[in-house]
Structure 1
Amino acid sequence: MTNSLPEMAEIWQQTLNWQPTVQQQSQFQRLYEFILEGNRQLNLTRITDPQEFCEKHLWDSLRGIAPQGKFISSFQDSASVIDIGTGAGFPGIPVTITAPNCTITLMDSTRKKITFIETILNSLALTNAKTLVARAEEIGQQPQHRQAYDIALIRAVGTASVCAEYALPLLKRGGLAIIYRGNWTQDETTALKNAANQLGGIIESIEKFTTPLSQSIRHCVYLRKVATTPIQFPRATGVPTQKPL
């Protein structure tokens, strides 16, 4: 079969101190096939080459939850996780496959994408994930979601300050927001510090790393929620992007 994902066992082991089981590898493969199929209708991703998919979607998704090359311990426990703006299911679905004890909510505002993701979850028998069609600004003000999650994942959604405004209201005190980025600048750190401060968060760390196959530079920003987010955040739909904190 031409579209087989590379095994990458050594790379997983060296970079994350982990490697997928046979079942997880087969779930990754089937996820890849679903994405290739779904791409015909939904335009989910430009990344379709098996090596690139492995690196930029699977490895990158899991690198975010493994700062300094070790999985965050709460992913072994029964953490409650939300993937904000999951799109085609990244980083949420690879995390769901890897962390069977966690409950993962895959959220997106596009109903078509969520319907597609539900097909994948059913086919891969991923019972630890649920889906939600919503906008972050709305659920951030809803009692069943506000301060309800241990970890928020957010990749390829707006500027870092906007990501912080989406994620921090959803986290319990002590929770962690993980913001996936490509490039990162000192100016972004300054802007994010200011935003996080208003939202009850602090920058715990910013990790710069290179991807294992193409040696591209990526960053992950870890925000810890240390205080309750003031009630006016998140602001109404569209406002965080138009007027970032």
Structure 2
Amino acid sequence: MNWQTRKDYLKQFPVEIPTKAFDRYGDILLDWNERMNLTRITDEDDMMDKHFIDSLTPTLASAYEGTGKILDLGTGAGFPGMVLAMVSPERDVHLMDSLNKRITFLDHVVKELGLTNVSTFHGRAEEAGRDRKFREQYGLVVSRAVARLPILAEYCLPFVRLGGHLIAMKGAEAVEEVEEAKRAIEILGGQLEEIVDLRLPGGDERHLVVIKKVKGTPEKYPRGGGKPRKDPL
């Protein structure tokens, strides 16, 4: 990936960008993608912008500051969580996904890149969010391309500790989703803190919806049996 073409854009990020490690990660992803469906994005510039640079955007939110544990829920091929772990080696980053084949891939990436601050977990949000090992244990939860915000809030907010934050990475419909999710956010103990508006180098619109955990999530959430998707709050 030709990072020089994005040099000016990358200056805004408050972290050191390990471009060689990103290149290696990209190579591994493309290699594994030939055997399993991990990403539809295979063009070099698109991968640079829509995977790696997009995954850096949570660092632009004030809620990213600190040293607390990070959870990437529904991490897929590791975006944004693996990227955040690479630029914030001082923080423990947990990657959770419901498909075990993705966890196998992520474990391989961790080993190949020698990352010591990443842990992977195979699990569903509806179940893990009720497990005391994970429930309200994270200073920051991030999630990208998992579900619309009313659903995502029920998946993610049970994992956020009091005073912590959820950063939901959204596209052009972010404001509409926030309106849809107002009731869910309140029920689940959250409060909208800010929306960070930005554009990727290729022009794609992005919004970081930052929600602060201001009170505990009621014990009955998250609901099981697929109810968050079937009947959003």
5+ residue gaps, structure 2: none
- Secondary structure class of the residue paired with 2:3: coil
Deviation at 1:10? Answer: 2.7
Q: Which residue of structure 2 aligns with residue 140 of structure 1?
A: 129
Q: Is the 8 A contact 2:15 2:88 kept in 1?
A: no
Q: Is the 8 A contact 1:160 1:192 kept in 2?
A: yes
Q: Which residue of structure 2 aligns with residue 54 of structure 1?
A: 48
Q: Is the 8 A contact 1:16 1:71 kept in 2?
A: no
Deviation at 1:17? Answer: 4.3
Q: Which residue of structure 2 aligns with residue 11 of structure 1?
A: 9
Q: 2:93 aligns with which of 104, 115, 118?
A: 104
5+ residue gaps, structure 1: none
**Which structure 2 residues correspond to residues 1-245 of structure 1 after superposition, within 5 A?**
4-7=1-4, 8-13=6-11, 15-20=12-17, 24-67=18-61, 72-74=64-66, 77=67, 79-184=68-173, 186-212=175-201, 214-245=202-233
RMSD: 1.5
Change (3 A) 1:37 1:82: same
Q: Is the 8 A contact 2:158 2:221 kept in 1?
A: yes
The normalised TM-score by structure 2 is 0.95
Q: Is the 8 A contact 1:9 1:19 kept in 2?
A: no
- Runs of 4+ in structure 1 deviating by more than 3 angstroms, as ranges, are none
Q: Is the 8 A contact 1:149 1:175 kept in 2?
A: yes
- Secondary structure class of the residue paired with 1:16: coil
Q: Is the 8 A contact 2:64 2:140 kept in 1?
A: no
Deviation at 1:215? Answer: 1.0
Deviation at 1:209? Answer: 1.3
The normalised TM-score by structure 1 is 0.90
Q: Is the 8 A contact 1:183 1:219 kept in 2?
A: yes
Tell me, in whole angstroms, the C-alpha distance in 2 between the residues paired with 1:237 and 1:134.
Answer: 14
Tell me, in whole angstroms, the C-alpha distance in 2 between the residues paired with 1:157 and 1:118.
Answer: 21
Tell me, in whole angstroms, the C-alpha distance in 1 between the residues paired with 2:81 and 2:69.
Answer: 12
Q: Is the 8 A contact 1:12 1:19 kept in 2?
A: no
Query: Aligned pair count?
Result: 232
- Identical positions, percent: 34
Tell me, in whole angstroms, the C-alpha distance in 2 between the residues paired with 1:47 and 1:133.
Answer: 24
